[in-house]
Structure formats: structure tokens, C-alpha cells
Amino acid sequence: MPLFAALTAAEIRDIEPRTQARGYRAGETIYRAGDEAESLFVMASGTTKLLRPSAHGQDVVMNILGPGEGFGTLGILGEPTYADAAEAMAASCVLEISADVFKDVMERHPRLALTVLDEVLHRFEQAQQTIRSLSANNVRQRVAVALLALADKLGAPQGETLALELPLTRADLAALTGTTPETVSRVMSRLRDEGIIETGRRWTTVLNRTRLAAAAQG
């Protein structure tokens, strides 16, 4: 996991007993936007989506996370509350590091503190990229960008294709791309007719990554 990659085996053995492994069912909330920021989390298995409330009352999916990715934050990192809500998309196992444990670990293993800071800054940049994409790209581009990112991160190679086997609904993809489920369905149908993707019930396969990348570029 990137969050712990810089640590030695001895340091990991010291930290491991102090993390809490928590299981979540599909659709279960891990934390809500506005809750006190008191834990860092790392995905061990499954998938989780981060949702940010908008001024119009409709949640925007800021990211979909898979194994090894971190989320959440701490008040001591300058964020007193969670900006996003986290919701498990499938049965998931999440490692939790509380604020008290993190402060102690940070003193004993300074490299972890630097890694966490890099992770927080990386997530901030990702959020900015999402906002720029939503404001600059057309709907076809936004859908293609989202599918490409998810396929590269979570897709399972099957020959020359990438199978995205996660319960990604049209509503999820609409919230991720700032449009409506109906519009997403039309775009997905066109991408399917063009032989770029194939879809089924709660799964999507990228048949031609090069053409999907071209669609993302416009």
C-alpha cells in the first residue's frame, strides 16, 4: 500500500496492531461529510466512493477507491471535518488509523507523517482536476475520462480488454461526471455501438483502450 511503502518491515509490524480492520457492506456509510475528522483510512479490499454535497443538493462523486488507496483526514492535518462522505460500493475491508494513534506513530516514525502529507496533497490535486474536468470537457469526454481512470486503476486485464467488475450504476457515473443518468446512458450506448466498451448488469468492459483515450481527449 502506497501509504506504508516507505516504512521498513519492523516499522510496519509496530504499526499494524494499532490499526483497526473494519468491514462494510455494499451501500454502508463509512463516514459522512461534516463529521469530525478523526481517522485516516486505507482500502484493504473492495471499493469505496467519495461523495461531496453540492450547492444544488445533489452529491458529486469525487473519486472511486480501490485496494491500497487512502482516504479520510485528521484535524491535526488542518481539516477539522470530512469534506466528503465515504460509502462502500461493495463488501469492503478498511484499515482505520485514529488521530491518537497517528500522533503517536508520527512521533515514532516521521516518514509516515511525510507520506500522509503527500497523500493529502495528492488528493487535493485530484479534486482540483475533477473540478477542472467538469467545467471544461463535454459530457462524452467526461464519461470517457471517468471510465478510462477507473479501468486503469481497477480494471482486470482479460486479454486485450479491461474488465471493470464493480457495481458502477448509471447514477454513480452521472454523479462522477456531473450530468444525469439519462445522458450517461446515451453516451454509454454510443460508446458501445462504436465497439469501444461492452456493458452488462453492474459491469463494464473496455474493449479498446486506445479509442477510449481518444474519446477522452475529444
Give the pLDDT of residue 47: 94
- Name the nearest CA neighbour of 148 among 25, 4, 140: 140
- Name the nearest CA neighbour of 170 among 135, 131, 201: 201
Give the pLDDT of residue 129: 67
CA dihedral sign, ordered 167, 171, 175, 180: positive
* Sheet bearing 70-74, strands edge to edge: 20-24, 92-98, 38-45, 70-74
Q: What is the mean pLDDT of the chain?
A: 86
Separation between Cα atoms, residue 39 and residue 213, nearest integer Å:
36
pLDDT in tens, 127-184: 666 656 656 578 899 899 889 989 988 888 888 899 987 888 888 888 888 888 999 9
Q: What is the pTM of this model?
A: 0.77
Q: Which three cell numbers stand for residue 167?
A: 457495481
Cβ(33)–Cβ(52) below 8 Å: yes
CA dihedral sign, ordered 56, 58, 60, 65: positive
Separation between Cα atoms, residue 91 and residue 98, nearest integer Å:
22
Residue 211: pLDDT band by 50, 70, 90 thresholds? very high
Question: What are the CA-CA distances from residue 148 to residues 74, 104, 163, 211 (Å)?
Answer: 31, 39, 11, 10
Give the pLDDT of residue 55: 67
